Structure 1
Amino acid sequence: MYIDVHDLNVDLHDVHEDRNTFHRFDKFNAKYNPVGASQLREVFLKTDNYMDGEYFATIIKEVIAELAESKYTYVEPRLSIYCKRAEEWSRLASWAIRHEVHSPHVRWLVQVPRLYDIYRNKRLLKNFQEFLNNLFDPLFQVSINPSTNIELHKFLTHVIGFDSVDDESKPENPYPNEIMKRPDEWRDEKNPPYAYYLYYMYANMTVLNQIRKEQGLNTFVLRPHCGEAGPSAHLSAGFLLAQNVSHGLMLRKFPVLQYLYYLAQIYIAMSPLSNNSLFLRYHRNPLPDFFARGLCVALSTDDPLQFHYTREPLMEEYSIAAQAWKLSSCDMCELARNSVLMSGFPHEMKQRWLGAQYVVAGPAGNDIARTNVPDVRVAYRHETLLHEMRNLFGVSAHLHLILH
């Protein structure tokens, strides 16, 4: 690359967001290439390369050491499975076990980029069913018989779920025909719609979770990037299929869907600083409106190496939100409580953080000594939701009588 180590600086690396990334997902993706060179991404940010992901593991272990030192920060980072070939899972698990990238402070989410069209154009896949097989077949095999791949079995105990990622603003047909092709018949070189990806991930995960539950193993959740951009159909699919979603910005344009997310209390992890650089200016972010209306929102980071400037990116999110939106200490603690509730950390850890009865709705499940959220705030949220439910069921019962 003809670059001397003494020439390297932050500007030359060019991996931090700038004004050019706004509404330009292609330029945002290019920021993953230090010095504009994809080779450096392969060397430093991949688990499967000629060095067996040694540098990437070293970086992660440094982060884990910092988390252990800070005590109170817990993270759910993403690792990618691209579904180009079936052995990806074995390679990823082997890397994780060999380098011991596990910690009480870390639970992994596996992100699946929606890149079938690229692999199909390169003739790496024949149809969409191969994409799904590469993602789920190894998981079914190891769940039924863990001895077939001990490393993968161990790695999956630290995995909490799946994420579906890509640029949601890509043009697509959000309302596919009623006669939709099955995955083994989808041989097109164009990408299936967002909802198609999500449905088949959900369907396979449902069966997989049932098998793992019967075996006494941990199960997985579907937690996709949803509603950062794109049509309302993405949010509809997320509402029907996901346990919780990331971003959810487009809910601000669809009040009915927003109301459904409120009634179902679907958690939404929002990242205003990331959105500010990609899709929506900070002062227009709907987080304070969602929060005031009672939606289950939490603050999270997204690509902190690109969008944040300090060694504590989550603290940046909280401090800027508090200043920009005049959040009280009660608001901040409720957002933090929401983030714990929606996380994939074990039940026992949540009991330690939130109280033994945290699963109980309303103030009965709130331990103010641990959450620092007043009972009156929790009671208000709970009673308001119950009031909405009563209104709905009362109206439906009234209509039922009229129809009869």
Structure 2
Amino acid sequence: MNQKHLLRFIKRAMKKYPKEIVHVERGKGQTLMEVFESMNLTAFDLSVDTLDMHADRNTFHRFDKFNAKYNPIGESILREIFIKTDNYVEGKYFGHIVKEVMSDLEESKYQNVELRLSIYGRSRNEWDKLAKWAVKHQVYSDNVRWLVQVPRLFDVYHTKKQLSNFQEMLENIFMPLFEVTVAPRSHPELHLFLQHVVGFDSVDDESKPEQHIFNLDSPLPSSWTEEDNPPYSYYLYYMYANMTVLNHLRRQRGFHTLVLRPHCGEAGPIHHLVSGFMLSENISHGLLLRKAPVLQYLYYLAQIGIAMSPLSNNSLFLSYHRNPLPEYLSRGLMVSLSTDDPLQFHFTKEPLMEEYSIAAQVWKLSSCDMCELARNSVLMSGFSHKVKSYWLGPHYIKEGQESNDIRRTNVPDIRVAYRYETMCEELNLITQAIRTDELETIEEEGSLWPAGI
């Protein structure tokens, strides 16, 4: 939701449930009215400005300040009450507001979203709690699919003695998924919830310094007990490895599989993008590809999807006019426009329209460019084959011009044909170079034989 929506919801909740106990402080229950009285606030005092959840110039290159913006009026207790699934009221308010967002989407008809929910890996019952919340509040819509994001915070939990090693975190995240795949009745609510989950995301501040380089000498997860946080590539590899085994099992059992789509290349070292290239289905952001032409070329050849959020990047890491999205698009990379967090970066009820309209104005995108971005976003999404066929046409999985149904995508056939021909030429160029190189090697080896042999 955006700020205005959250503000209206908080005011409504204060009017409707003033006497409801929403928080326990030192063993004593606090009602919603008492929580606000302790802050010297009334519903009348609340405004978008006092809520103060919009990213501004102070959040630029300051991920800590960006995270703090999630607290309404700077109070973490309000974040817990209104935008958490696991709290004293069992995520009741958050469930209600998510339902409101869903009904807005269903009303607008032409926007689908992939929302994120967090699993932290601190305890084994997190999945069951999340699934219980989802089923109880029926946070289901044909326009919505869920991605589960795993924050890279092992060092924080380890310092607080919540986890003794990294293996424990991995088991907390993946064991319930293996259990429910083998025996759906062991976690009935989780089985239901997983039908609307399409994959995993890995999130945190990428610009944090990494003390360790992941290599053959790195400790196994069960031996990772040091204070330092494991590096990005370590997190991504072990998520990928567990997901691969899980997906084989799910496929055998006739269930849909999950994909890895991490935040990658927003900041920090370039090698995050190497990990993303090797292990991910798609990535989010990918800003640093502008500094690594070879990697950019690899992402192009493999057509790895890059969901870009220029308005978010503009507030956090890279000013709008320096964003590489138009270059990526013109070179034929698989890019799409995506919102990152409407609560912090957008003002209107239709945040995705904000992204498209600002991009079109600033970069002077043609309607053909806009429709190509929209087509890419459907291809990259985790929605089912049936949904994609509805939006793009029944032959969307074919290659080249055949895949395009201009009546649905509004992308001219000539653009799709050009993309396909260029890709084929590039691949042809590489295979020719390899063949030439092999021939030269054979000739050189032949010339080394003694005469007469």
The TM-score range, normalised by the shorter chain, is over 0.9
Aligned counterpart, 1:205: 243
**1:120 matched to 2:179:** no
Amino acid in the other structure paired with 1:291: L
Deviations 1:77-101 (A, max 9, x none): 0000011100000000000001000
Aligned counterpart, 1:3: 41
Cα distance in structure 2, aligned partners of 1:326 and 1:224: 29
**1:379 matched to 2:417:** yes
Cα distance in structure 2, aligned partners of 1:214 and 1:177: 32
Cα distance in structure 2, aligned partners of 1:174 and 1:343: 33
Cα distance in structure 1, aligned partners of 2:272 and 2:439: 35
1:1-400 matches, within 5 Å, as 1-173=39-211, 175-400=213-438
TM-score by length of 1: 0.99
Of 171-180 and 279-288, the range deviating more from structure 2: 171-180
Q: Percent identity?
A: 65
* Structure 1 residue 178: Cα displacement: 3.1
Give the 4+ runs in structure 1 shifted more than 6 A: none
TM-score by length of 2: 0.89
Aligned counterpart, 2:17: none
* Structure 1 residue 175: Cα displacement: 3.2
Amino acid in the other structure paired with 2:67: N
Query: Helix, strand or coil: the match of 2:306?
Result: strand
8 Å contact from structure 2 (residues 261, 281) kept in 1: yes
Deviations 1:329-366 (A, max 9, x none): 00000000000000000100110110000000100110
Query: Helix, strand or coil: the match of 2:144?
Result: coil
8 Å contact from structure 1 (residues 355, 367) kept in 2: yes
Cα distance in structure 2, aligned partners of 1:17 and 1:149: 39
Structure 1 residues 174 and 224: CA distance shift in structure 2, 3 A: farther
Query: Helix, strand or coil: the match of 2:202?
Result: strand
Q: Give the number of the structure whose alpha-carbon radius of gyration is greater.
A: 2
Deviations 1:201-259 (A, max 9, x none): 00000000111111111110000000000111100000000000000000000001000
Deviations 1:287-317 (A, max 9, x none): 0000000100000000111101111100000
Deviations 1:165-187 (A, max 9, x none): 00000000463343110000000
8 Å contact from structure 2 (residues 211, 228) kept in 1: no
**Could you list the runs of 5+ residues in structure 2 that have no partner in the other structure?**
1-38, 443-453
Amino acid in the other structure paired with 2:414: V
Cα distance in structure 1, aligned partners of 2:51 and 2:210: 34
Q: What is the root-mean-square deviation of aligned Cα atoms in Å?
A: 0.7
Query: Helix, strand or coil: the match of 1:305?
Result: helix
Query: Helix, strand or coil: the match of 1:107?
Result: strand
* Structure 1 residue 13: Cα displacement: 1.0
Query: Helix, strand or coil: the match of 1:356?
Result: coil
Cα distance in structure 2, aligned partners of 1:10 and 1:321: 25
**Could you list the runs of 5+ residues in structure 1 that have no partner in the other structure?**
none
